[in-house]
Structure 1
Amino acid sequence: MDEIDTRLAALTARFVVQAEEFAIVIEACLVRGAWDELMMPCHSLAGRAGMFGHAAIGDAARAVEEAVGAGASPDEIRRLAAGLLDRLRSLRQER
C-alpha cells in the first residue's frame, strides 16, 4: 500500500467514525423534534458521503435536509431520517 492509499484508508475510517457520531446527533434531534438542528449533520453527511463512495448515504442525508428546509411534516422528516439511520447502521456493520 503506498502513501496515498494509506491516507485514503485513514480518511475513510475517519468518515465511518464521524458517520456514527452523526447518527447519534440525528437520533437525538429526532427525539427532541429539533428539526433545525437536524439540518447541520445531514448537510455535512450529504457533502462527505459521496467522497468516500457512499452516495446512497449522501442522497438520504440530502433528502432529510431538503425536507426540513421545505417545511415537511414531522412524520415525513422522521420517515426520511429513519431511512438515513438505516443506511448509517449498514455502514457500521460493513466495518
Structure 2
Amino acid sequence: MTRILDPTLGTTSSSSASLAPRAPHLEGAIIGLLANGKSNGMAILDRLAELLTERHGIRDVVRVAKTNASAPVSEEDARLLAKQCTAVITAIGD
C-alpha cells in the first residue's frame, strides 16, 4: 500500500493575514535582512544594504539568518524583525 504524505506546514487563510503598510521612504529606516540559510544569502543582502545606504540613506540593518532553508523563520527572529525594522528584505542565496 502506498502512503502519500503532505510535506507542507499547512495553509493560512487569506482573511487571517494582512499586508504590512509600506514605508513612505527609506531615509533613516532600519532594514531587516533575512537570509534563508544557504551559502550566499547574506552576501547578497549585505550588498543590497550597501546600495540602500548609498542611494536611500537607510540608518541601520538588522541581520537574521535561518539555519535551515526549508524551515520558517523562528518566532523569536520574526518578533525581533517586526519590532525593530521599518521593512524586511529576504533572499535566497545558492
Higher relative contact order (CA 8 A, sep 6+): 2
**More strand by percentage:** 2
Higher share of residues assigned helix: 1
TM-score (normalizing by structure 2):
0.29
TM-score of the two chains, using structure 1 as the length reference: 0.29
Question: Which structure has the larger Rg over C-alpha atoms?
Answer: 2
